[in-house]
Structure 1
Amino acid sequence: MCADNVENWPQRPVKVIVPFGAGGSSDTFTRQLIRVIKKENLLDQPLVVINVGGAGGTIGSRRVRHARPDGYTMLMLHEGILTAKHAGKAVYGAEAFEAVAATGKSPNIIAVKSESRFNSLKELMAEAKQSPNALNFAANIGAPSHFAGLILEKTEPGTLFNFVQYGGGAERYGAIMGGHVDMSVFSIDEYLRYKDGGLKAVAIFSQERHAAVPDLPTAIEQGFDMKSSIMNFWWMPKGTPEAIQNKMSEVIATAMQSEDMQNFMKTSRIESLTLSGGDLNREISDREQSISKVSMRKIDVLPLFERWIFGFVVFLAILAMLQKNKVKKEDPLWNARSLKVFALSAVYVCILSLTSLSYPLVSSAFVFALGLIIAEGKKPAYLKLAIFSLSLSFGLFFLFTRVLVVDLPG
C-alpha cells in the first residue's frame, strides 16, 4: 500500500467483522461505538458492521485473518481469540493479527439458581472438591466462559466441575433455570438482566467489589485468587500499515471519551477503559498467560451434525456422477462439459473461501474460463469474452461493496 493511500485512509467504507450474531453484547457494543464515530465525524468513511457468526467466533476471525492488510477490514472480538487457540478450535491466536485497541471491561460473575443451596463461592467450591465432576457448569466449550471455569478450578486443587456445552448467556441462564446445570458465569449486565428471573450470584471475579452489585463479595474475599473479565479487542489483519492502526486507535479512543459512549457504558455496567500500544500488548500477554496455565480435558458434546451433512452431500455427488455415466454414450460432449464446469466451480469456490485473492480478478478468470468451456467446439470471441468477464465481475464487486456493503475480498 503506497504512502499516499495510507495518508488518505480511508477512501471507502471500512468493514468491521463481529463474529457473532446480531443483538449480542459484542454486536451491541460495536454498533454503539460506530454510531458515536459517525455522529462525531471522526472518520471520513463509514464503519459497517458485518455479522459472521459460527464456530465460537473462529469463522469471522478467519475471514479477517485472510483479508488484505489495507485497513478496510477489522475484527471486534474479545479474548475468545485467545481461548479458541488454546482450546484447539483455531491454529492461530492474537499473533496472527495487529492489535489496535481494547475498549471497556466487564468483570464476570458466577451465579446459581435462586433456590440453590449454595450461598457463597466457598460453599460451592467445597462441594466441587468433595464430589469432583458432580456439579454441572454451563459453558460455551472453548470460549471465555469455559476458561473462566477452568481457571476457577485451579484456585483450589482437587476441584473439578462437569462442563456442559451451552452457548451464549441467555442459553446458559435457561440451562440453570431448567435445572440442567448448577451454575455458570455471566457479565454484570447479563446477571442484572436475569437476576429477577431467579438467578443468584455467589461471587464476582474482580479485584474489588463492583458498584452495580455492592453486596456481592469478590472471589478474592472468599479466599480464591480469581479474576476474570471481558474486554473488547479491536484487530486488523497482520501487516496492516502502522499509520492506519494508529489512526484507528485514536478514533476509537476519542469516541470512547464521548458523552454518548460514557452514558452507554454506565448503563451497561462496563468500566470505561481504552488501551493501546504497550498497555494493550501487556494486557493481551497477561490474559494469554492466564489462559495457557489451564489444560483442556475431553468434554462430551452433541454429535457433529456438520460431518453427517458433509457425508450426505458426498453421497448425493456420487449418485450424480453415476447418473452422468449412464448418459455418457448418448451425449459424451455434454458429460465432459458438465464435469469441467463442476471442477471449475469447485476451484473457484475454494479460492474465494481459503485465500484473500481479489474477488473481481478471480471472478473475471472464472467467467472467462466458463465461457471457453461453453463455447467448446466453436471459435470463441476472446476479446468480447474478456470484456464481458471484466465488466461483469468488477460491476458486481462495485454493487456489492459500495452499494450493498457486502463483505468481499478486494
Structure 2
Amino acid sequence: MAVVLAAPAVLAHADESHYEVFYTPPDPLPAGEPGDVIRTEPSRLVLEPSGQLGSFVGTGTRIMYRSTDAQGNPVAVTGTYIEPDNPWPGKGPRPLLAYATAPYGMGEQCAPSRLFNQGIHASLDTGFDVMFNLEEGFVATLLARGFAIVVTDGVGLGVHGPMSPQFLNRVAGGTALLDAARAAMRLPGTSLDPDGPVAFWGWLAGGQAALAAAELASTYAPELNVVGTYANAAPTDLAATMPSIDGNFLAGALGWVLRGIQSAYPALEQPIWDSLTPRGVEMLANTGRQCMLQTGIDYMFRHLQPWFKDDLNQMVQADPFKGILAAQRIGNVKPTGPVYFSHNRWDPFGPYAAVVQTATDWCAMGADVTLWTNEAPPFLNKLDVNALLPPFIDAERSIAWITDRFNGAPTAPNCAELSS
C-alpha cells in the first residue's frame, strides 16, 4: 500500500519587520515645530507587488514629521512625499496636494505609506489580511499631470508602537494633513516653492481630514498658501453617521471609531472597554489590528447593539459621547479658500443631508462652496457601493476643479442653490 506524504502548506506572510526601524518614533521626540521633518528614506512606489505592471512617474520619499494630536500634544506622523518627473504645465510654481486617503484599516500594516511600497498587502497575520492601495489610480494620474503630492498616514497609523489611530478626529485629522504640507515644503531637493500653493484632497475619512484642515488652516498653519479643498464622500457629522453603520458591510468601522475615541481621549479608554459585551470586546480587539477588507469580512452586516451592554442610542445621545461626536462635526468654522464637495445623494455611510448642512452653514459664513451631487441611484447600499464608486465616476470633474484652483480660474459656488 503506497503512502502519499503531503507537503505542509506554506502560508504567505508579508514581512513587516523591516518597516519597524523607520516607523518607530524617537523617544523623546527631537525638539522642533509642527511640520519639521524627523527622518526620511527613499520609498519604493509600485502599483502592484512586482512593480512591473505600470509605474508612478515620480520619486517617493518616506517621511516622519512632527505634528500634534487631538489634545495638542507633539506626536510623530508618517507619510509619503512624491516628487513628479513631469513638469507642471499650469500657471505659477508647482502645486502641492496634501492628500488624506480613505480608511485602509487600523493595523499599522495598513498605512498608505506602506501600501505604496506593495500595491497589494497580503498576509495571514490577522486572517484574510489583504488590502489594496485603493487610491493609487488617483495618485498616479495626479502625479503624471505635474502635481507634487504628500500623503499622510494620519495621527497614530503606521507608527510602530501601542498608539491607535485617532480615526475621524477633526483636530488630529486636520493637523496631520497641514503638517504634512509643511513637511513637504521643508524637504530639501524638491521642485516646490516654500511659499507655493497648497490644496487638500480627501475621500471618506480622508475627506473629513481635508475639510478639517481647511477649517484649521487660518489658525494652525496661517503661512500656507491654501488655494482649495476637495472632499468626496466625507462624513461631516459623525453623530449622523452612526445609524448608517448598523447592518453595513463596514459595521466593524464602529471599532475604528471607538479606537479613535480611546486614542484621542485616553480617559475614556477603560470606560469604553467596560461598556462592551464579550462580543464587543472581541470586535474592538480585532478591528484594532486589521485592514479594511478583513474588518468587512469579519463583521459585515452586523447590528451594533449586541456589542454593548447598555442601549447604544442612549449612550451616543448623552455625554461624554454626545459632546465628543459633536466636536468632530465639520461646518462650525469658516474654511480657508474655496471648497468643493462631491457626494452621492444616497451615500450609505456619510449621510448626504449632513453634507448639505455643512455646506449651507459654511455658505452662511461667506465661504466659497460648491457641492456637486452625484445622482447614481442606490445600488447594493449595504455594500457601500454609493460611497465607494462615485469618486471614480466623478474623478475627472474633481481633478479639473482642483487644477483650476492652482491656475487661478474663477470658482462657480452654488451657495444660492443650497439656500433655496
TM-score (norm 2): 0.27
Please identify which structure carries the higher helix content.
1
TM-score (norm 1): 0.28
